[in-house]
Amino acid sequence: MRTKAFQSLGIKVGYLNRILTAGILTTSVAGSAFGASYIVKVKENRGNFQAFASQKSLAGGSIVDQHENGNIVLVNFDHKSIADEAATLASLYANPDVEYVVENRKVHALAMPNDPDTSKQWSLAKVKASEAWSKGVGSRSVVVAVIDTGVDYKHPDIAANIWTNSKEIAGNGVDDDKNGYVDDVNGFDFNKNDADPMDEVGTQNPGHGTHCAGIMGAVGNNGTGISGMSQQLSIMPVRFLGADGSGDLMGAVKSIDYATNNGARVISASWGGPMSASQVQPITEAISRANDKGVMFIAAAANDGKNNDVTEMYPANTPLPNVITVAASTTTDTKASFSNFGLAKVHVAAPGVDIWSTIPSNQYRNLSGTSMATPLVSGLVGLMLSHDSTLTGPQTKALLQASGTKVAIETACECRVDAESVVNRVLDRGLTLVPQAITINPNQTQQFSAFGGSGGYKFASSADSIATIDDNGLLTAKATGELEVTVTDSKGANNTSLRLRVVEAGSGGGGGGGGGGTPTECPLDPQMCEAICQIMPTLPWCN
């Protein structure tokens, strides 16, 4: 019966029989990846998603969750061998309604706990926050989502800045605003699937999400505790990480879509994991949906001390124009020893060592990590939006880079954010080339534009032998090397980019900004991929 079923799906029975009779694969193997949960993406052109998701079982597994916004379902299997699970996964890949299958992997908060014994809030002085506040302290009309372990929304230094869903009536058990979530007055918890995104402290979570929220937007000038980078803004708590500091891809996708669909302009993401682009497709697609709606995604570079240009780390490495990835700097403007870096994949640095901020139950604590650098940038972006709500992701990234303080930290701009400088640049509409710093491959193109100035822009390349740029700002890379692009406006003002790099594919993080396409690497555990390739050798990664 099994053979006939696989024949009907076009799977090569010879390969199936081989894997089912191979002794090493028909027994349980210690440390193997079977018995996992998988995210299945349904093709958007295959009809009614709900009809697909309402099936009681799928390929012998149980559909335990669904997310129509992403056209994905979560399937649990209870196999006893790699062979059985590989055969089931192969049947999913052969299903004409299925676009892809990935394991529902875990991601983790990216903080490094430390003792509360250093000076308080040195980071705000370092980035000249008080000088920036002289031009305005932010606005609660700007919504920034903290997707994390939750937020202690009752903390007296945060409560006044917590987002309120004005269309929802608390506690009536009704989805008043018809957004698919009941009683989500102050956000949502996708870890426990309820409307209470309260931060839950555990042995692995000192209050990570609350700490991030305080860095970003603790209420300023209230005579209590600390001030956030933006003293006034609306913090949207969205929880998918548990008390152990971890959560899965399904929860991350739901969280990103919730923030995107409920008014957030910025998402702060201080979490991630070492995964390949194919393994993290559901998150990349959710960030792409955020990009389509003008939502910026601020991501932590990670705390492994590695070069993200050669290390796969997501969501930090997501190649989309709304993503700003942040490294951590020290009191002396050096790279924090733990911080990841990268001239192509990491965009800016911000203070991330011994950062004093809020934790649950009306307390404060020092924590270190790119997790702490990220919400500072998120709060600063919120402050920028309070001055100019029309800013796009690429414009915001360019403004942060063009105004940053030069430091010896390997990021695209080799800079650390400067709040005073970037706020002045936004308010003065100082001519700024967009983008400021990129790494691409030969024969790739990149569209340039400009923020501010007087219009009538003209563009010029410093090295036509490396890359040319036309009158409309379209740059075409020709050969490896480094160059600059200058934009000049109708009044003669000009702005020159930071370093633009053209590198061979695979040698320094080139590849630009798109994302998507058919993956050429297996999105599953290597042992499982090998087993599946014995059944379906025509899959794109099997060669």
Please confirm, yes or no, whether 152 is among the known catalytic residues: no
Distance CA 295, CA 163 (A): 16
User: Is-contact 493 456, C-beta < 8 A?
Assistant: no
| Cβ count within 10 A of residue 366 | 19
| Residue burial 91-108, b: 16+ Cβ < 10 Å; e: rest | bbbbbebbbbbbbbbbbb
Distance CA 270, CA 304 (A): 14
Please confirm, yes or no, whether 148 is among the known catalytic residues: yes
Specify the 3-state DSSP secondary structure of 394.
Answer: helix
Q: Which two tokens stand for residue 165?
A: 């869903």
Task: Give bridge partners of residue 148 from the DSSP assignment.
Answer: 239
Distance CA 44, CA 97 (A): 9
Specify the 3-state DSSP secondary structure of 21.
Answer: helix
The single residue listed with the structure tokens 């002085």 is: 125
Q: Does residue 509 come out as left (phi exceeding 0), alpha (psi in the -120 to 50 range) or beta?
A: left
Distance CA 323, CA 346 (A): 10
User: Is-contact 240 190, C-beta < 8 A?
Assistant: yes
Q: Does residue 165 come out as left (phi exceeding 0), alpha (psi in the -120 to 50 range) or beta?
A: beta
Q: Are strands 271-272 and 106-109 parallel, antiparallel or unpaired?
A: antiparallel
| Residue burial 180-218, b: 16+ Cβ < 10 Å; e: rest | bbebbbbbbbbbbeebbbbbbbeebbbbbbbbbbbbbbb
Residues 208, 211, 347, 387: which is the catalytic one? 208
Distance CA 197, CA 189 (A): 5
Residues 371, 378, 386, 421: which is the catalytic one? 371
Residues 65, 84, 148, 189: which is the catalytic one? 148
Specify the 3-state DSSP secondary structure of 14.
Answer: helix
User: Is-contact 288 515, C-beta < 8 A?
Assistant: yes
User: Is-contact 276 136, C-beta < 8 A?
Assistant: no
Distance CA 43, CA 73 (A): 12
The single residue listed with the structure tokens 């308010």 is: 427
User: Is-contact 316 280, C-beta < 8 A?
Assistant: no
Q: Are strands 112-113 and 363-368 parallel, antiparallel or unpaired?
A: antiparallel
Known catalytic residues are: 148, 208, 371
